[in-house]
Amino acid sequence: MAECAERQAAVDRSLEAGWASIGAGALEAAVAAVRALEDEPSLNAGIGACFNRDGVIELDAGAMEGTELRAGAVGAVRDVRHPVDLARTILETGPPVLIVGEGASRYAREHGLQMTEPSTFETERQRRNLEQMLVEADTVGAVARDAEGHVAVAVSTGGMTGKLPGRLGDTPVPGAGFYAKNGAGAACGTGLGEAFIRLALCHLAIVELQHGMSAQEVAEGAVEYLGAKTGAKGGIIVVPAEGDPAHAFNTPFMPVAMRVG
Cβ of 107: how many Cβ atoms within 10 Å?
19
Q: Is 139 a catalytic residue?
A: yes
Catalytic residue, from 67, 89, 93, 139: name it: 139
Give me the pLDDT at residue 56, please.
Answer: 98
> What does the alpha-carbon distance between residue 40 and residue 119 come to, in Å, rounded to a whole number?
15
Residue 194 clears pLDDT 80, i.e. is over it: yes
Which class would CATH give 2-249? alpha beta
Residue 192 clears pLDDT 80, i.e. is over it: yes
Of the pLDDT bands very low, low, confident and very high (cuts 50, 70, 90), residue 14 is very high
Instruction: Identify whether the C-beta of residue 71 lies closer than 8 Å to the C-beta of residue 64.
Output: yes
- pLDDT (tens digit, 9 = 90+) per residue, 96-155? 999 999 999 999 999 999 999 999 999 999 999 999 877 777 899 999 999 999 999 999
List, as one string, the DSSP characters of 26-82: HHHHHHHHHHHHTT-TTSSSSTTPPP-TTS---EEEEEEETTT--EEEEEEESSBS-
Closest CA to 235 of 172, 191, 179: 191
- The whole-number average pLDDT for the span 231-244 is 97
- pLDDT (tens digit, 9 = 90+) per residue, 214-231? 999 999 999 999 999 999
Amino acid at 153: V
Specify the pTM. Answer: 0.97
Closest CA to 186 of 211, 207, 213: 207
- pLDDT (tens digit, 9 = 90+) per residue, 34-61? 999 999 999 999 999 999 999 999 999 9
